[in-house]
Structure 1
Amino acid sequence: MTDKRFIATPSRTKEILQKYHFTFKKSLGQNFLVDANILVNVMKKAGIDKKCGAIEIGPGIGALTEQLAIHADQVVAFEIDQRLLPILKDTLQDYENVHIIHEDILKADIQSVMGDHFHPGQPVHVVANLPYYITTPILMKLLQQHLPITSLTVMMQKEVADRMAAEPNSKSYGSLSIAVQYYTTAKVLANVPKTVFMPQPNVDSSILQLTMRETSPVMVNDETYFFQFVQACFAQRRKTLRNNLISFFKQRMPKEKVEEVLQQSGIDGGRRGESLHMEEFASLANTFWKKEQQIV
């Protein structure tokens, strides 16, 4: 499927970089994809077609943006690096359905941008090759804002993708797994070797697909409290729930009270966080939340 016209080839990428005397900024985690076959495969797996809109984060020189423009109705791409704007204007000049927004995605009003560029009720997918250093904050912002997004198909560091999709009783399972899976169903679609990037990163990547849930899989009394509580349960992985929670509540609740609430919950305080399913975390967090309301 690779075509010499595509941006995502080593020769075309080098040609563009040389034309603009572009140098990579390590601080922005810039690694450009140079394999169009992988990108075409991402389009298929993400379900991108002319009925849907697409949001990209960090388009670089436009390799993924180009494929999105070919397959989607409208494409909005957020780029923080001003040096890339003239390059994108050049490489994507044939595509009238692409809108480049020069803004930090973490500061952007995404809801407003979606209203400006997509039709009401149109399925919108996020597809991106995310910078490694800021993957988690970007995804959590997108998830916690409850945006009208259908799915996110994103390339990221393999280790982080494994953590987001991890099941209980595995080494990768932790508070990040719970946070992501509270909002989505998570699935690693494929692993991507470092050799298909320029420059080559130090680690391999994975394509992770997050499909938004219509409703949360568990009922929690307070979302913020729930996520803080789960983080506390994993604060020191080798410690038991009891010890992590005694440490977490030390300013608010005596250890005898922590023990009492654990017994009320029916969950063994001698277990470790990695052994609990999301339902158990929700039940435990709700029990402690109610107890703290009584104390106040």
Structure 2
Amino acid sequence: MDKLGNPKNTIEILNKYKFVFQKKFGQNFLIDTHVLEKIVNAAEITKDDFVLEIGPGIGTLTQYLCERAGKVVAVEIDKMLIPILEETLAAYDNVRVLNEDILKVDLVSLIKEENNNRPIKVVANLPYYITTPIIMDLFEKHIPLSGITIMIQKEVADRIRAIPGSKDYGALSLVVQYYAKPYIAANVPPNCFMPRPKVGSAVICLTPHKKPPYDVKDESLLFSLIRASFNQRRKTLVNGIYNYEGLSFSKDLILEALTASGLAKDIRGESLSLEQFINIANYLSEKS
């Protein structure tokens, strides 16, 4: 099978199977060999690696992954792509394709079964509409990860690595940075895809912290506080937490937590660092 990084080969296989792009699945296939090389190089894939690919499409990136990795499991939601993948990946004996919704796959069991619970690498050209739920799912399930290298919307990549006080800073920045160190490996223009998306993309690497850099008493409380703080950005932190469904702290206790952390009572969530959120969460956890 000729490499699909060549646009001519991509068009041929799509025509052969009369494939119709599904808007609901956010399908944009990569057609640039340089970008494909950049992704596998950024992920630092070797024959020792087990790679989980999310949304392989017609198998463009999958071919590159199969050549570098020991084993690849590719999870594809669109059943119309399964016969295409059977053809485009026929030359490789180290790949398994699952026709599933990644958010419904029991990843913990899959990794146990396929990789003996050893850390895996996730590599993917993610559909824009579902990027955040997938990233959150990978971290919150605490699956063993040695790295995540994903192509996502440029705007989301900017949000992930944003710093306190910037316009892009929000709940996603904090939660991802709690688990991993983000690094943008490449910016990718729309003409590298078929069909062309309306916005630019970026390849971002997320390297999980080997051990948690902070001592957190109640992780779910921390994430609730973060979400509460950005739920209505114009509100002060106190009002955001006080009014957030699922949290039931008195205003006095929230103010006490801010004072104990050396913060002004009218501060907004967008000004706080991850460490400051953790201080507040730990204080509330101890007092409640």
User: Into which bin does the TM-score normalised by the smaller protein fall?
Assistant: over 0.9
Q: Which amino acid aligns with 1:164?
A: I
| Partners of 2:261 and 2:276 within 8 A in 1 | no
Q: 2:234 is aligned with what amino acid? A: R
Partners in 1 of 2:143 and 2:245 — Cα distance?
Answer: 33
Aligned pair 1:221/2:220, yes or no? no
Deviation for aligned residue 1:233: 1.5
Determine if the alignment matches structure 1 residue 239 to structure 2 residue 253.
Answer: no
The whole-number CA distance in structure 2 between the counterparts of 1:180 and 1:114 is 21
Tell me how far apart the structure 2 counterparts of residues 246 and 224 of structure 1 sit (CA, whole Å). Answer: 17
Contact 1:267–1:284 (CA<8 Å) still a contact in 2? no
Q: What RMSD, in angstroms, separates the aligned Cα atoms of the two structures?
A: 1.8
Residue 208 (structure 2) aligns with: 212
Q: CA deviation at 1:120?
A: 5.7
Give the 3-state SS of the residue equivalent to 2:277 in structure 1: helix
Aligned counterparts of 1:251 and 1:286: Cα–Cα separation in 2? 14
- Report the more deviating stretch, 82-91 or 216-225: 216-225
Residue 184 in structure 1 maps to residue 180 in structure 2: yes
The answer (yes or no) to whether the contact 1:6–1:36 under 8 Å persists in 2 is no
Query: Are 1:193 and 2:189 matched, yes or no?
Result: yes
The residue type paired with residue 142 of structure 2 is H
Corresponding letter in the other structure for 2:179: Y
CA distance in 2, matches of 1:95, 1:141: 29
In 2, the alpha carbon distance for the partners of 1:114 and 1:261 equals 40
Shift of 1:257: 4.0
Identity %: 46
- The alignment covers a number of residue pairs equal to 288
Paired AA for residue 60 in structure 2: A
Alpha-carbon distance in structure 2 between the residues aligned to 1:35 and 1:223: 40
1:92 aligns with 2:89: yes
1:9 Cα offset (Å): 1.9
Equivalent position to 1:59, from 56, 61, 67: 56
Aligned to 2:70: 73
Task: Provide the C-alpha distance between the structure 1 equivalents of 2:215 and 2:240, rounded to a whole number of angstroms.
Answer: 23
Given that residues 218 and 278 in structure 1 are in contact (C-alpha distance below 8 angstroms), is that contact kept between their aligned partners in structure 2? no
Q: Distance in 1 between matches of 2:54 and 2:230?
A: 30
| Displacement after TM superposition at 1:254 (Å) | 4.0
Deviation at 1:249, TM superposition (A): 7.8
Identify if the C-alpha distance between structure 1 residues 52 and 229 changes in structure 2 by more than 3 Å, giving closer, same or farther.
same
With the length of structure 2 as denominator, give the TM-score of the two structures.
0.94
More displaced 10-residue stretch of structure 1: 67-76 or 106-115: 106-115
Q: How much has 1:270 moved relative to structure 2?
A: 2.1
AA in 2 matched with 1:187 = Y
> Is the Cα contact below 8 Å between 2:55 and 2:124 reproduced in 1?
yes
**CA shift for structure 1 position 110:** 1.3
Question: Partner of 1:44 in structure 2?
Answer: 41
Counterpart of 1:9 in structure 2 is 6
Aligned residue number for residue 133 of structure 1:
129
Verify: 1:153 aligned to 2:149, yes or no.
Answer: yes
Q: Which amino acid aligns with 1:117?
A: E
Which residue identity lines up with residue 139 of structure 1 in the other structure? Answer: I
Unaligned runs of 5+ in 1: none
Give secondary structure in 2 for the equivalent of 1:215. Answer: coil
Distance across 1 between alignment mates of 2:257 and 2:246: 14
- CA shift in 2, pair 1:248/1:117, >3 Å: closer
Q: TM-score, normalization: structure 1? A: 0.92
Task: Indicate conservation of the 8 Å contact 2:38/2:186, yes or no.
Answer: no
Distance 2:240 2:100 in 1: 39
* Residues 250-296 of structure 1 deviation map (CA, whole Å, 9 limit, x = unaligned): 983443443334323322222221221111100011212223x2xxx
- The match for 2:120 is 124
Distance 2:96 2:162 in 1: 35
